[in-house]
Amino acid sequence: MTQNIIAEETGVADVIDPLGGSYYVETLTNEMEQKALEVIESVDARGGMFEAVRTGFVQAQIGESAQRFQEKVESGEQTVVGVNKYQLPVTEEANVPIYRPDPRAITAQYERLARYKNNRSQTALRRGLDELARAAGDPSCNVFGAIIEGIRNGATHGEVVGTLRRELGFGAPYPGTEHVNRTRRETT
């Protein structure tokens, strides 16, 4: 079954003996390499990956690529088994129940978290998060060690992520990504 899905979605079965002499695979590999080099050169021309992410270039490229792929799926040019080909008839759709966690389990988890937070050293926690903030604000620092130290000092995942967001601005919309949503709205 898996090989049928791969054959359908990749188009590998469109060529007689795709590995015979490997011309077909070699051509695809060369095309992929050329496109990858173009992307790398484009990122380098913008000052490297960090600058490309900061200015929104990477996000825009990902958004545009996703939009092109979605348009190909919707037009039928790109097959996605189960999405635009070989779909189950409506009468045969599986009725998948939505998972709803037990409210008691949620309450118990909140209580465990509260106990954890109440039983840790606030001084050590503050020291760890302050060091993480300092490291995140210094472009020459690798924050990985500071993250580990923050966790050792009692920081939760949410506190680590919150500190990084405050210092680095993660989660904020990047300039250059607005046109992807605008273009998508205009075409629908």
For the segment 110-139, what is each residue's pLDDT rounded down to a tens digit? 999 999 999 999 999 999 999 999 999 998
124 Cβ neighbours under 8 A, 6+ residues apart:
153, 154
Query: What is the reported pLDDT for 183?
Result: 42
Maximum mean pLDDT: which of 12-16, 51-55, 86-90, 182-186: 51-55
Report the alpha-carbon distance of residue 85 to residue 52 in Å, rounded. Answer: 37
Query: What is the reported pLDDT for 92?
Result: 59
* CB 147 within 8 Å of CB 165: no
Mean pLDDT estimate for the chain: 85
pLDDT at 86 exceeding the cut of 90: no
pLDDT at 182 exceeding the cut of 50: no
Across the range 5-24, mean pLDDT stands at: 77
The residue ranking higher by pLDDT, 49 or 21, is: 49
The residue ranking higher by pLDDT, 64 or 171, is: 64
* CB 167 within 8 Å of CB 136: yes
Looking at the DSSP assignment, which residues form a beta bridge with residue 28? none
